[in-house]
Structure 1
Amino acid sequence: MRPHSTLRRFLVHPKDKTLKEEMCGCVYKIPCKNCETVYIGETGRKLGTRMNEHKKDAKNSPQVFTRSGRRESEATEHSSAVTNHIARHNHVIDWKGVKVIDRENNTALRKLRESVAIAKERRVMNRDDGGYQLSPIYRPLFTAGNHSGSKPAL
């Protein structure tokens, strides 16, 4: 017989978990509430700071509800791909559903991980392929699990 509650059990995890908003050096994913599209980005700063920048930019974007306004919005290039998605499709971003995909403090490796995450994802709202140009040789590796026929962002 052993006691269930021991001092060791309480003291094994002396560190508190880092809050998602406080994480630095990460690759993150922002989902859309209205469709399966996601935005994948990377930051060396706190994730909360970067999310606040995305939110501020999205809040300043015009809300389009008319056909003519939508045409104007499609012709306008906004400062962020998230804002483009909101304005062009009149969708809502799931700010609470933001996930940290990976963590990396080295900038070059973080940009590589971002590019790989974009290539693996089926539907992205990103304008580019990430901070690192992947060779087309790797395309079969990223599309192997993707049977829907949609192209990865390479």
Structure 2
Amino acid sequence: MKDSPIDRIIINVPYVGKITQQLSKDLKKLAKKVKPTTQVIAVPRPPPAVRQMFKNKDEIPKNLQSNIIYQVNCSSCSASYIGKTTRQACSRLKEHGAPTEIPVEHTNENLRRSARIAAMYANNNARISYYESDSSEDDIPSATYTSAIKRHITSTQHKIDWHNWSILDKDKHPYRLLVKESLAISEKSPALNLTTRSVSLVVYPEGRAIRRTSQKTSQ
């Protein structure tokens, strides 16, 4: 007569000293009583550390995040806008026409603009036409910048959903941020963007959708 197969059950139990040892013995006895062919293996584990229960750093509010790809939607129609910014999002949204209750950081303007642009802004001797992309918004004085979202509000009298704008992607590397912006614009085709990309997508000229398809095909 063949012996019945033994069912092994591994249970992780928190280690708190002698109580853990007694609990392991009780579990084994209970398993034998319920089903003699069951073997319970109690593995003592250290309790979770306090740092695992709490976040080490406070989460940065969405309005204060930087180096992001963002999307802003119109509440009155299906139009949307996708852009990127290396500054805090609240500053960029305010340039788009966001209400003043969105917090804006107070920094020295000269720290994020070249001397040439700062001089042009101070002397007001030149006007820069910059409409389609957010690719170099850190170098463009807000007084000479016309936002596509602002033009949409002015021409249609529509309202923008400033409270539910979303972050699509992040990257601290400037060029990768431009590539991700181009991929997002190519994939979603936002109506308010006048350009289809910020940089040339040499590897995937048709955008992110084609890249995903090629990955699935190769598998």
TM-score calculated relative to the size of structure 1: 0.66
**Partner of 2:58 in structure 1?**
16
Cα separation, 2, equivalents of 1:103 and 1:84: 27
1:128 Cα offset (Å): 1.3
**Partner of 1:87 in structure 2?**
154
Cα separation, 1, equivalents of 2:174 and 2:207: 26
Aligned partner of residue 139 in structure 1, secondary structure: coil
**Partner of 2:83 in structure 1?**
41
1:45 Cα offset (Å): 0.6
5+ long unaligned stretches in structure 1:
58-76, 146-154
Contact kept, 8 Å, 1:40 with 1:124, in 2: the verdict is no
Contact kept, 8 Å, 2:183 with 2:208, in 1: the verdict is no
1:135 Cα offset (Å): 5.0
1:119 Cα offset (Å): 0.7
Q: Does residue 93 of structure 2 align to residue 51 of structure 1? A: yes
Q: Does residue 138 of structure 2 align to residue 96 of structure 1? A: no
Contact kept, 8 Å, 2:186 with 2:207, in 1: the verdict is no
Give deviations 1:71-90, integer Å, cap 9, x for gaps: xxxxxx88111112112222
**Partner of 1:72 in structure 2?**
none
2:68 counterpart (26, 45, 51): 26
Contact kept, 8 Å, 1:36 with 1:123, in 2: the verdict is no
Higher normalized contact order (CA 8 Å, seq sep 6+, divided by chain length)? 1
Aligned partner of residue 85 in structure 1, secondary structure: helix
Give deviations 1:51-106, integer Å, cap 9, x for gaps: 1111269xxxxxxxxxxxxxxxxxxx881111121122221111111111111111
Cα separation, 2, equivalents of 1:33 and 1:142: 26
List, as ranges, runs of 4+ consecutive aligned residues in structure 1 with deviation greater than 6 Å. Answer: none
Aligned partner of residue 45 in structure 1, secondary structure: coil
Contact kept, 8 Å, 1:111 with 1:131, in 2: the verdict is yes
Cα separation, 1, equivalents of 2:174 and 2:190: 25
Taking structure 1 as reference, are residues 35 and 21 closer, same or farther at Cα in structure 2, changes over 3 Å only? same
5+ long unaligned stretches in structure 2:
1-12, 15-47, 100-130, 132-144, 213-219
Identity of aligned residues (%): 24
Q: CA RMSD in A?
A: 3.2
Contact kept, 8 Å, 1:31 with 1:93, in 2: the verdict is yes
Q: How many residues align?
A: 125
Give deviations 1:107-130, integer Å, cap 9, x for gaps: 111011111101111442111123
Taking structure 1 as reference, are residues 126 and 17 closer, same or farther at Cα in structure 2, changes over 3 Å only? same
Taking structure 1 as reference, are residues 35 and 18 closer, same or farther at Cα in structure 2, changes over 3 Å only? same
TM-score calculated relative to the size of structure 2: 0.48
